[in-house]
Amino acid sequence: MKLTLKIWRQPDAASKGAMHTYEVDEVTGDMSFLEMLDVLNEQLNVKGEDPVAFDSDCREGICGTCGLMINGQAHGPEVTTTCQLHMRSFNDGDEIVIEPWRSDAFPVIKDLVVDRGAFDRIIQAGGFISVNTGSAPEAHSVPVPREDATRAFDAATCIGCGACVAACPNGSAVLFMGAKITHLGELPQGQPERDDRVVSMVAQHDHEGFGGCTNIGECVAACPKEIPFDVISRLNWDLHQAMRHGH
């Protein structure tokens, strides 16, 4: 198939960006979306034009590195990561608009590559259980009800790609943050730091410039790992409890 691509090009963080139009030919349905961009880049290289910069690494949907706004949707029309989106989801002659994640908290580095360092800093604020290497008790000393472990796992499958932020009209990262709060809060090991964790993470989230949550739900629709909406309720509940405990 033959496609028209409208791609955001921006040489670096300081420069102004603009949409550029490219034609790409001989695209097959078996190509992933990123392989289609590889083909474009090979063409650009031959012509002596700077290839389009975009992030990807594992290309099997688990590392969370890739992520593009495709026709206005984070990761495109399917519920999956950009690397697992295949061109059979498009038709010959389609025009596809490709932009980087849109959020003040994720500044553009170049073209379609953004800086998601804010996510690391939110985890640094409290997204962990404080246990030094070697000081752990025997694993079977604390049983965990299977349902709790399952819920913790479901939340822990978040890949930190940032689609939730890109999809949110407010640019909020509460789905990402709620997933971590839920993952650790469901487990007995996560209880001692539960209040501190939520308070510190939320403070960092706001400090980074992410917006507030108004329960729109775009984040859940865009999430390639289908993190459930109720992790946000869990976050709010934990924050409320922490306040009551005097934080």
Partner 1 sequence: MTDMPDTTLTPEPSHDAPGAHGDDAVGYYRPGDPVADAKAPDGPVADRWNTRKFEARLVNPSNRRKLDVIIIGTGLAGGAAAATLGEAGYNVKSFCYQDSPRRAHSIAAQGGINAAKNYKEDGDSVYRLFYDTVKGGDYRSRESNVYRLSEVSANIIDQCVAQGVPFAREYGGLLDNRSFGGVQVSRTFYARGQTGQQLLIGAYQAMERQVAAGTVEQYTRHEMLELIVADGRARGIIARDMVTGEIQTHLADVVVLASGGYGNVFYLSTNAMGSNVTASWRAHRKGAYFANPCYTQIHPTCIPVSGAHQSKLTLMSESLRNDGRIWVPKNKADCDKDPRTIPEEDRDYYLERIYPSFGNLVPRDIASRGAKNVCDEGRGVGPEVDGVRRGVYLDFKDSIGRLGEDAVREKYGNLFDMYLRITGENPYEVPMRIYPAVHYTMGGLWVDYDLQSSIPGLFVAGEANFSDHGANRLGASALMQGLADGYFVLPQTIRDYLADGPFEKIAEDHPSVVEAKKSVEDRVAHFLSTNGTRSVDSYHRELGNIMWEYCGMERTADGLKKAIDLIRSLREDFWRNVKVLGTADSLNQSLEKAGRVADFFELGELMCIDALNRRESCGGHFRAESQTEDGEALRHDDHFAYVAAWEFAGDGELPVLHKEDLVYTAIEMKQRSYK
**Dist CA 53 CA 50 (whole Å):** 9
Q: Which two tokens stand for residue 127?
A: 């997204």
Q: Least Å distance between CB 102 and partner 1? A: 17
Q: Least Å distance between CB 75 and partner 1? A: 13
Q: Least Å distance between CB 26 and partner 1? A: 9
10, 23 contact by CB (below 8 A): no
Query: By C-beta, is 123 or 220 nearer to partner 1?
Result: 123
Q: Least Å distance between CB 103 and partner 1? A: 15
Query: By C-beta, is 21 or 124 nearer to partner 1?
Result: 124
Query: By C-beta, is 36 or 69 nearer to partner 1?
Result: 36
Distances (CA, A) of 147 to 16, 41, 54, 141, 191: 50, 47, 39, 18, 17
Q: Taking the CA atoms of the chain, what radius of gyration do you get in angstroms?
A: 20
Query: By C-beta, is 117 or 212 nearer to partner 1?
Result: 117
68, 112 contact by CB (below 8 A): yes
